[in-house]
Structure 1
Amino acid sequence: MQNQIASRAGFTLAHLPLLGAGSSRTESLASYVLRLAHAHGYRPNDFIKLLAPLSGQAERDAGQWIGQFLDTRFSDEASVLACWVPLLEQLTGVSGLAVATLGTWGSLLTRRGSDAVVRQWCPHCLEDGHRSGGAHMHLLWSVGLVQACPHHGTELESVCPHCGAGRTPSGRPAKRFAMHAPGVCASCGGWLGTVDPRQPQASPREIPQASNHAVCVAEQIGTLIARPLGPEESLRVHCTLNVAKDRYFGGSMVELARWIGLGKSTVHGWLSGEVVPELRRLVELALKLRVPLGDLVRGCTDSLPLSLTSGSAGLKSYVRAEPRPDEKRADLRQLFETRPDLSIREMARLLGMNPRDVYYYEPELARAHSDARRMEQSEAREAVLDEAAQGVMTHLARVESVGECTTVRDLRAAAANEAPSLSYADQQRVVTEVLKDWAA
């Protein structure tokens, strides 16, 4: 098969080994494609266009593959596992590239809510890889629940520190982020690690520390990435839960459901094996039971402690079922002091809690933070509307000076040129108000 595709393509690709395989630092398939393109002197988009006709899906053009490559879907969709993994294995001669995707875990890591919305990375990991000559993007960073680096205990980044790429004009995280090579921003060519090569004398950037809970979640999911599910293995969460029910709750499903905090019907579906909990629930169960997540989903009961208060099952000492209220408050205060740019929802996501809990544990700080952000957003919005109005007035003055006619569409375009982030309704509002003032 390899000779057939190589002869049909008329070329072969460099034999690049997959970096970090067998650990939580396993390279993602998107990062592997970036390194292949760089090794052959191609830009990533041109490299995708070169290989797209060989993917075996004639109904999808190169543009669709490029769009998928620019976000995190290139590491989790079934079409990538079915088309691109065999293609790259055959052209490079490297086997086992399926572990560079989340598809080895079926729908567990790729179902809605588990895949990352934005492309994210750890600057410290990129810097470590750069020093060792193997900078790459980790597959772990493609999972949406992962918001911290389990190796450095810092938050993951999704915005270029040099040009701001990765954030929309409205300030929201962008769904797509282009790179020339792993860790190199395509917009400005800046290095996404902690040390800027263009300023070697400057001190390394400081990356905010993540909460203990976020690090625990990343470490647990890393056990899945380090050891993918084999072709003959299946998810056996129900086996682990049934042993835990018998060992800790005297065989009572009611007591187990009360301890988990869910209804009996939900827990019954888990125990029967008819339903597999979503990834967020599995991580919570692994932390509560103090077992590695990989053992929980495989049904390995040897790592279950004799009681819920004994042992840590080989996890780090700070792993716990649920942070105590005083620890949650301390983590929240730290975020309020060090990351005032975050919204309440983003803070809650970093700490693994509900946004309502933020108002419960720190009501005064949360309200003051929300009021301050609301005022900032209101002032920023008014400034944008003023810029758009100024652009419309400039356009009207120019048209009137030369005696030409104009249309509402031209006025909306003038507003959009000054403020590209404005919606259609806002553009219409600005034009209407300017015309009223102009007529008066």
Structure 2
Amino acid sequence: MIEFDPHYRVRPRALFLLEPRANGTWARQRLTSYVQELAITSLIKPHALRDCYGPFPFGARSREGAVDPSKAPNINGAADCARNWVSVVSEIVGRTDIEGLTLLPFADFVRSGGGAHLHARRMWCRRCLQEDIARGQLPYERLLWSLRQVVVCPLHGDLLDCICPHCGRSQTNELARDCLPGHCGFCQHFLGDERTYDVVESESVATEYQLWVARDFGNLLDMNSDQIEGASHENVRLMMRLAIAKACRGRPQVFSENLRFGCETVKNWVGGWRRVSLTVISSLSWIYGVPMRAWLLGEVDAWNRCCVRELPLDIHRDSDFRTRSYWCDWGAVGARILARLESDQPPRGVTDAARMENMTAETFKKRLPDVYLRVRDAAAERRKASSAINRSKLRERIRVCIEQLTQEGQPPTRTRVATRLGRGLFPKGERIYWEEIQRFNG
């Protein structure tokens, strides 16, 4: 067989072609959104790309080692799941920069392969998606929105959404269902629209701490490859020693109290026996006003403009709460929670009640089991009552749509009713629709 010189060989062509959005910047696209857009622009369905190309650890039930779609957020992390996806996607698109769409560049600073740093649900900023459409592009979802600590858009200052403005449902990520980028996987509507009248709008406003964290993580993702290579745990330990010397008067105990960790844990960090995660570095960034990238790169000049601030009350540490539990008046804590339960604004659930007292839901369940059960059951009853009210409203709207379509001379099919409602019928509305159709025809 004739063998050609390597100089004259033609490299194999990639199966697909798509350039990642804003790669290398704070607004970089995340890998799940990139795979979804890759499928749409290639005129195939996302599940076909997901299941048929490469050893994806997701989706194909017949393939050994397949993972449930609810675990898909880890694809944007820094564990083996993300590495497998990056390897396969890099091969089919012929690119070497796909790793930047995940947390793999920061793998040394994330815990549990990044799973502890990622939202379990799909998050987005409505105004960012609207701006993508205004520029004549397909909307895409940012890697920054996947980070659990980020709940605010650093550009617009709006709280991130996790519920579809049309059908009111949330989902794990883009690849769980076939849909266009920036659209709901259930009702297929645009996620950047304003919320409909039957979805309650949140009145909460982003706090200064939330804005700081969002912009701090944005600056972290804005680091180039040379800066990421220069980041090290040795730099973090150096910055910790400077924090103790300059901001804590040389007392490690003050440093641990500001961070709400035990002195032994801080000793292990400074001594290099334990690694510091991005979550801890983010807290240190807020407390002393020194950005996270300065901690990772060892920028000692940042301490010339440092400050000392307290963490919000809802940022707590289990170890710190256990050390204080021996003197905590648990009877008074239970009485306060029960008083709130009987008030006009009861806690939404056990997690909300625990946050009101600056503790975790696990500590709440362990220390006050009876109060925990009462709060849980009361929240379940309120959700049940609210569900019944929403169900009756949906039934009335479906009945009106059927009557309007009949008066217009059109058959009231489920597709026409769903279009008239502006939302999907599945799963609750499907049953109501058939009940109303039988009653209407009867």
For 1:83, the aligned partner's letter is: N
- List alignment gaps of at least 5 residues for structure 1: 168-172, 310-319, 326-338, 360-368, 385-416, 421-440
CA distance in 2, matches of 1:85, 1:274: 31
Shift in Å, 1:136: 0.9
Establish whether residue 123 from structure 1 lines up as the match of residue 112 from structure 2.
no
CA distance in 2, matches of 1:342, 1:6: 59
**Deviation by residue 1:91-141 (Cα, 9 ceiling, x = unmatched):** 323331111001221153352532222121111211112222152111112
**Which residue of structure 1 lines up, in the alignment, with residue 153 of structure 2?**
149
CA 1:340 to 1:207, structure 2 compared with 1: closer, same or farther past 3 Å? Answer: same
**Which residue of structure 2 lines up, in the alignment, with residue 271 of structure 1?**
270
> How many percent identity over aligned positions?
21
SS of equivalent residue, structure 1 residue 345: helix
CA 1:383 to 1:181, structure 2 compared with 1: closer, same or farther past 3 Å? Answer: closer
CA 1:231 to 1:177, structure 2 compared with 1: closer, same or farther past 3 Å? Answer: same
CA distance in 2, matches of 1:104, 1:221: 14
For 2:206, the aligned partner's letter is: S
8 Å contact from structure 1 (residues 48, 62) kept in 2: no
CA distance in 2, matches of 1:63, 1:380: 42
CA distance in 1, matches of 2:74, 2:57: 18
**Which residue of structure 2 lines up, in the alignment, with residue 12 of structure 1?**
15
- List alignment gaps of at least 5 residues for structure 2: 1-5, 315-344, 365-374, 391-426, 431-442
Establish whether residue 88 from structure 1 lines up as the match of residue 89 from structure 2.
yes
8 Å contact from structure 1 (residues 119, 177) kept in 2: no
**TM-score normalised per structure 2:** 0.63
Shift in Å, 1:302: 2.0
CA distance in 1, matches of 2:179, 2:295: 38
CA 1:181 to 1:46, structure 2 compared with 1: closer, same or farther past 3 Å? Answer: same
CA 1:65 to 1:194, structure 2 compared with 1: closer, same or farther past 3 Å? Answer: farther
Shift in Å, 1:161: 2.0
8 Å contact from structure 2 (residues 36, 175) kept in 1: no
8 Å contact from structure 1 (residues 289, 321) kept in 2: no
Map 1:85-234 onto structure 2 (within 5 A).
Answer: 85-106=86-107, 108-111=109-112, 113-132=116-135, 133-166=137-170, 177-194=176-193, 208-212=203-207, 213-227=209-223, 230-231=228-229, 233-234=231-232
**Deviation by residue 1:15-65 (Cα, 9 ceiling, x = unmatched):** x22212232211101111011100111111011122135x699x9966966
Establish whether residue 345 from structure 1 lines up as the match of residue 351 from structure 2.
yes
CA 1:122 to 1:65, structure 2 compared with 1: closer, same or farther past 3 Å? Answer: farther
CA 1:270 to 1:345, structure 2 compared with 1: closer, same or farther past 3 Å? Answer: same
**TM-score normalised per structure 1:** 0.63
SS of equivalent residue, structure 1 residue 126: helix
Shift in Å, 1:270: 1.5
CA distance in 2, matches of 1:174, 1:94: 23
CA distance in 2, matches of 1:56, 1:193: 30
Aligned length: 338
For 1:298, the aligned partner's letter is: L
**Which residue of structure 2 lines up, in the alignment, with residue 45 of structure 1?**
47
For 1:155, the aligned partner's letter is: L
CA distance in 2, matches of 1:340, 1:155: 23
**Which residue of structure 2 lines up, in the alignment, with residue 295 of structure 1?**
294
SS of equivalent residue, structure 2 residue 149: coil
SS of equivalent residue, structure 2 residue 179: strand
Cα RMSD of the aligned pairs, angstroms, is 4.6
**Which residue of structure 2 lines up, in the alignment, with residue 25 of structure 1?**
27
For 2:187, the aligned partner's letter is: C
